[in-house]
Amino acid sequence: MAAAPSLAPQPQAGTVGLLGCDFSSSPSRRKPGVLAVGRLDGGTAVLDRLERFDTLDGLRRRLEAPGRWVGGFDLPFGLPRELVEHLGWPTDWRGCMRHYAALSRAEIRAAFAAFCDARPAGGKFAHRATDRLAGSSPSMKWVNPPVAYMLHAGVPLLLAAGAHLAGVEPDDPAADRVALEAYPGLPAREVLGRRSYKSDDRAKQTADRRDAREALVAALERGAGPAGPLRLGLRLRLERPRRAVLVDDASGDSLDAVLCLLQAAWGLARHRAGAPRYGLPPDVDPLEGWIVSA
């Protein structure tokens, strides 16, 4: 069942908590979303607990609960400018998101499929600049993974929770709740390369993938991978029972939530060091957004 926000311990007044969200546009009891909750302690990201939500409303209520936080959310915050301009949609981010939120998933799929059908093989999708750099799926993709639907469900939810969405909204250094677009594949590939560490298919939940999760968690704890110190410059600290959950969760959802928390920790560390926009580049296209640490 979804976590009850009123019962979850919250950071003390004045402190800033860390969140990492493995987001699902259609969470369920069989496949819930995961929220990693922790804090930044110097150069260490501390994982305090993992929460699960089986409805979007449950996540919304959790995010609306009292407390200050910086969170990394595994969903795109914007669409490719090329796509938006081609469709004639508003090119200011708020206007574009209002238009997008008013569409049904069927309408989104039809509009995006028509765009792709008119383009040559090998170049069907439009890409954001950050998708190309991070190696993430284009934010207009509606299947495997359905990130277009994740944007459609997630951005209104974050706005309803009173979050400031860095990279697409004007900078607000005083915001109490800051959402950063995260992508767990980015830090995972630094350690594992293209080695797979997760699958929702039980037949593919192999010992090799479990070994990969074990290696990834160990590298996060050390703050170093095969090539030396990790780019995020942070170490992960967690208690043994939570470590076991990350390794044993064959879907990878728990580990992905923690990878998002680490990316949020990177952004918070940059903010505390005086960097604007939680470390995002200064020339981010505010219609498209940017993946933190990319």
Instruction: Please tell me the predicted confidence (pLDDT) of residue 14.
Output: 55
What mean pLDDT do residues 228-254 have? 98
Q: What is the pTM of this model?
A: 0.94
Instruction: Please tell me the predicted confidence (pLDDT) of residue 13.
Output: 41
What mean pLDDT do residues 174-182 have? 96
Q: What are the phi and psi torsion angles at 140 (to 5°)?
A: -95, 0
Percent of the chain past pLDDT 70, that is, above it, reads 95
> Residue 18, Cβ neighbours under 10 Å: how many?
26
Measured CA to CA, the distance from residue 21 to residue 158 in angstroms comes to 12
Measured CA to CA, the distance from residue 258 to residue 50 in angstroms comes to 9
pLDDT tens-digit series, residues 188-220 = 999 999 999 999 999 999 999 999 999 999 999
Measured CA to CA, the distance from residue 162 to residue 291 in angstroms comes to 20
pLDDT tens-digit series, residues 20-45 = 999 999 999 999 999 999 999 999 99
Residues forming beta bridges with residue 17, ordered by sequence position:
69
Instruction: Please tell me the predicted confidence (pLDDT) of residue 186.
Output: 97
Instruction: Please tell me the predicted confidence (pLDDT) of residue 173.
Output: 87
Confidence of residue 6 (pLDDT cuts 50, 70, 90): very low
pLDDT at 10 exceeding the cut of 90: no
Q: Are 55 and 3 in contact (CB under 8 A)?
A: no
